[in-house]
Amino acid sequence: MKKHDVIIVGGGLAGLRAAWKVSEVADTAVVSKLHPLRSHTGAAQGGIAASLGNETPDSWEEHMFDTVKGSDYLGDQNAIETLVKEAPKTIYDLEHLGVAFSRTEEGKIAQRPFGGHQKPRSCYAADWTGHTLLHTVYEQCIPKTIAFYDEWFALSLAVRDGVCRGIVALDIRTGEVEAFHSKAVILATGGYGRAFKITSNALANTGDGLGMALRAGLPLEDMEFVQFHPTGLYRQGILLTEGARGEGGYLVNGDGDRFMRNYAPEKMELAPRDVISRAEQTEIDQGRGGEGKDFVYLDLRHLGEAKINEKLPQLRDLARSFVGVDPVKDLVPIQPTAHYSMGGIPTTVTGQVISDEKNAPVTGLFAAGECACISVHGANRLGTNSLLDAALFGHKAAVATIEYLNEADFHPFPEEVMIEGVTRVKWVREANGRESAPKLRHELQETMTQKCGVFRDREKLEECLAKVKELQKRFDDIGIGDRSKSFNTEVTEALETQNMLDFSEIIVYGAMQREECRGAHWRVDHPGRDDENWLKHTIAFQKEDGIELRYKDVVITRYPPKERGY
């Protein structure tokens, strides 16, 4: 049994920011299934939002309004207010730590426009913003005393009687399962785009933290809201930064028209993601895709080689190595790609995890980053707000943890959680059934993209739910070929698939019940937003006899819901 005051699960931006802060006062460990530098934060390209006003005057009120409107009024305005007010300080802190922000002529942090933001407020480092954030924060963790358990796969949360006492994790290198006893746990396991076939997310983004929460009997919030990013590289789903449109790129359909004219005449290519993804999907569905297929084009040719090289070097590389086109001369084929999970483990503004719709806290358990739902993004996240979310609320969760540690002590570790972990891993490693776990995963991804994607309706969702349930059953009969204990990725992949099957059911079920269109959730059979019945958060529990949905009011302080046009 390992013992630390605080265990942080996940070494992305949120987890590392938390570790950096908590380690000032407590014995801290970071448990991450990837080496922290391999976390998906590194893939974020576009930027991180704050109303610094370095390019044009800006204010937190404007940032707040944009975020609230972007969230389709589902975001909790108290949380959003914290987010936007503390954003500039967060950015300055990160700059002081060494983040390699691009600079303006006067040497200030450069900012550029981004979809849904009225002002240029995306602070960026060319198109590798997430990379420099991740590396810088990790680097600053090195001189601190933090125990890093790299390549350890967290299996379960040890929660009993409403108190979190640690976790159980699998050492990927040796195949051994161990208990980690702690006073507090901070979950920062990132997103779950891998539940979909076309996704911008890394292969490791399988939402394990959500699976852990469900297994500990905790609910998930607003899971039906999945953001589809409009510029995924065709077939691969790999993200081409929204910065491409921020820098002036066009979207054109198979006929060569800038089709956004018909959907968001004012903002055009800078409308929010949900609006553009639906526009693209409509063009494709109506047969105006490129070559009549399921993609449209991103056109950057008019920007010229110099600008592309300076501002979008990574994009050019990606397009060249993954689809063999050069954006300087060619149109780049793109399609909507599952990108961001607005929902997650419900928390308060301080990062305290809550266990029901009445905000009852789970003592000693905190969450931050993409796996958490605070909710600052509501029904649709604005680009560049999530790095901010991870950096800021990672820090806040640490502050709340430190406060909690003042009075906290170690509570006895529940043996049964350890036993369950050991048994589950052993069961998977020795599984002898007929089903192939990768095949189940592919079927899940296919059905989620087809039936629970950009456009949804009851019929498709019902089919989807049935399919997910079928897959869950079939999972009990999987067979594993690799019995080795050292670096057995077949086992970890199967464990990931199990997590995805668990929370996918909640996504689909929540989407089925929510009969309206709000933000990223679009019900073709229920057009229009329905504030009267649906201006509320979904809190979903996984019970023995199926899923139970409860609802929670949205916090509205400054901006009452209005029609959302761009």
Partner 1 sequence: MITALTLQELDVENVVLRGVIDLVVFRIFRFDPARNDAPTFQTYDLPDTAGMTILDALIHIKENMDSTLSFRRSCRSAICGSCAICANGKNLLACNTQVNDLKKVRITLEPLPGFPMMRDLVVDWEPFFDQYRSVKPYMVARSTPPEKERIQDQKTRKAYDEAAQCIMCSACTSSCPVVWTDGNYLGPAALTKAWRFVADDRDEITRERLAMVNNEEGVWRCHTIFRCTDSCPKKIDTAGSIESLRKKIIWHQLTGRI
Ligand X SMILES: Cc1cc2nc3c(=O)[nH]c(=O)nc-3n(C[C@H](O)[C@H](O)[C@H](O)COP(=O)(O)OP(=O)(O)OC[C@H]3O[C@@H](n4cnc5c(N)ncnc54)[C@H](O)[C@@H]3O)c2cc1C
CB of 97 to ligand X, least distance (A): 16
Contact characters 110-129, ligand X, x per CB under 6 A: -------------------x
Helix (H, G, I), strand (E, B) or coil at 262: helix
Phi/psi for 114 (5° steps) reads -150, 150
Q: Is 341 in the site for partner 1 (CB under 8 A)?
A: no
For helices 77-97 and 129-141, give the axis angle rounded to 10 degrees.
Answer: 70
Q: Is 445 in the site for ligand X (CB under 6 A)?
A: no
Binders of ligand X among residues 152 to 191 (CB under 6 A) are 153-154, 188-191
Residues that bind partner 1 (rule: CB under 8 A) add up to a total of 61
C-alpha distances in angstroms, 519 versus 56, 74, 343, 358?
28, 9, 12, 25
**In this structure, are residues 190 and 202 in contact, taking their beta carbons and an 8 Å threshold?**
no
Binder of ligand X out of 5, 8, 29, 45 (CB under 6 A)? 45
**Looking at 273, 456, 474, 529, which residue is catalytic?**
273
Q: Residue 49: is it exposed, middle or buried by C-beta count within 10 angstroms (0-12/13-18/19+)?
A: buried
CA dihedral 424, 430, 433, 435 (to 10 degrees): 70
Q: Residue 531: is it exposed, middle or buried by C-beta count within 10 angstroms (0-12/13-18/19+)?
A: middle
CB of 275 to partner 1, least distance (A): 25
Q: Is 523 in the site for partner 1 (CB under 8 A)?
A: no
Q: Is 427 in the site for partner 1 (CB under 8 A)?
A: no
Rank residues 74 and 371 by Cβ distance to ligand X and give the closer one: 371
Q: Is 233 in the site for ligand X (CB under 6 A)?
A: no
Rank residues 223 and 535 by Cβ distance to ligand X and give the closer one: 223
Q: Is 425 in the site for partner 1 (CB under 8 A)?
A: no
Rank residues 480 and 495 by Cβ distance to partner 1 and give the closer one: 480
Which partner, ligand X, partner 1, none, binds residue 98 by CB below 5 to 8 Å per kind? partner 1
Which residues, in sequence order, are bridge partners of residue 123? 48, 111
Q: Is 370 in the site for ligand X (CB under 6 A)?
A: yes
Which residue in this structure is represented by tokens 């900012």? 111
The DSSP result for 82-118, as a single string, is HHHHHHHHHHHHHHHHT----B-TTSSBPEE--TT-S
Rank residues 292 and 481 by Cβ distance to partner 1 and give the closer one: 481
End-to-end CA distance of the chain: 55
CB of 350 to partner 1, least distance (A): 25
- From 70-78, 200-208, 454-462, 468-476, give the range in contact with ligand X by CB under 6 A: 200-208
Which partner, ligand X, partner 1, none, binds residue 136 by CB below 5 to 8 Å per kind? partner 1
Which partner, ligand X, partner 1, none, binds residue 387 by CB below 5 to 8 Å per kind? ligand X
Q: How many residues does the chain have?
A: 566
Q: Which of 247, 8, 345, 342 is nearest to 150 (CA)?
A: 8
Binders of partner 1 among residues 359 to 418 (CB under 8 A) are none
Determine whether 235 is an active site residue.
no
The letter for the amino acid at 309 is N
Binder of partner 1 out of 16, 22, 167, 238 (CB under 8 A)? 238
Residues that bind ligand X (rule: CB under 6 A) add up to a total of 46
The C-alpha R_g of the chain, in whole angstroms, comes to 22
Which residue in this structure is represented by tokens 């602070």? 123
Q: Is 447 in the site for ligand X (CB under 6 A)?
A: no
CB of 484 to ligand X, least distance (A): 20
E strands in 174-238: 177-187, 220-221, 226-233
Q: Is 481 in the site for partner 1 (CB under 8 A)?
A: yes
Phi/psi for 246 (5° steps) reads -60, -35
- As a three-state string, the secondary structure of 380-444 is CCCCCHHHHHHHHHHHHHHHHHHHHHCCCCCCCCCHHHHHHHHHHHHHHHCCECCEEHHHHHHHH
Residues 6+ apart with CB under 8 A from 20: 137, 140, 141, 144, 146, 398
Pairing outcome for strands 146-150 and 352-354: unpaired
CB of 157 to ligand X, least distance (A): 11
Q: Residue 336: is it exposed, middle or buried by C-beta count within 10 angstroms (0-12/13-18/19+)?
A: buried
- From 278-286, 344-352, 380-388, 536-544, give the range in contact with ligand X by CB under 6 A: 380-388
C-alpha distances in angstroms, 516 versus 62, 227, 530, 534, 544?
27, 16, 6, 7, 28
Binder of partner 1 out of 59, 162, 173, 527 (CB under 8 A)? 173
Binders of partner 1 among residues 86 to 105 (CB under 8 A) are 91-92, 95-98, 100-103, 105
User: Tokens for 358?
Assistant: 């009445």
Q: Is 57 in the site for partner 1 (CB under 8 A)?
A: no
Binders of ligand X among residues 304 to 363 (CB under 6 A) are 339-340
Q: Is 309 in the site for partner 1 (CB under 8 A)?
A: no
Q: Is 296 in the site for partner 1 (CB under 8 A)?
A: no
Q: Is 421 in the site for ligand X (CB under 6 A)?
A: no
Which partner, partner 1, ligand X, none, binds residue 253 by CB below 5 to 8 Å per kind? none
Q: Is 200 in the site for ligand X (CB under 6 A)?
A: yes
**Could you give the CA distance from residue 16 to residue 21 in angstroms, rounded to a whole number?**
9
Helix (H, G, I), strand (E, B) or coil at 148: strand
Binder of partner 1 out of 1, 142, 291, 302 (CB under 8 A)? 142
> Which residues of the chain form contacts with partner 1 (CB under 8 A)?
34-35, 37-40, 42-43, 52, 91-92, 95-98, 100-103, 105-109, 125-126, 128, 131-132, 135-136, 139-140, 142-143, 173, 202-204, 236, 238-239, 314, 317-318, 321-322, 324, 436, 438-439, 480-482, 484-490
Interface positions with ligand X (CB under 6 A):
9-15, 31-34, 36, 39-41, 43-48, 129-130, 153-154, 188-191, 200-201, 204-205, 208, 239, 339-340, 369-371, 383-387, 390
Give catalytic residue positions. Answer: 273
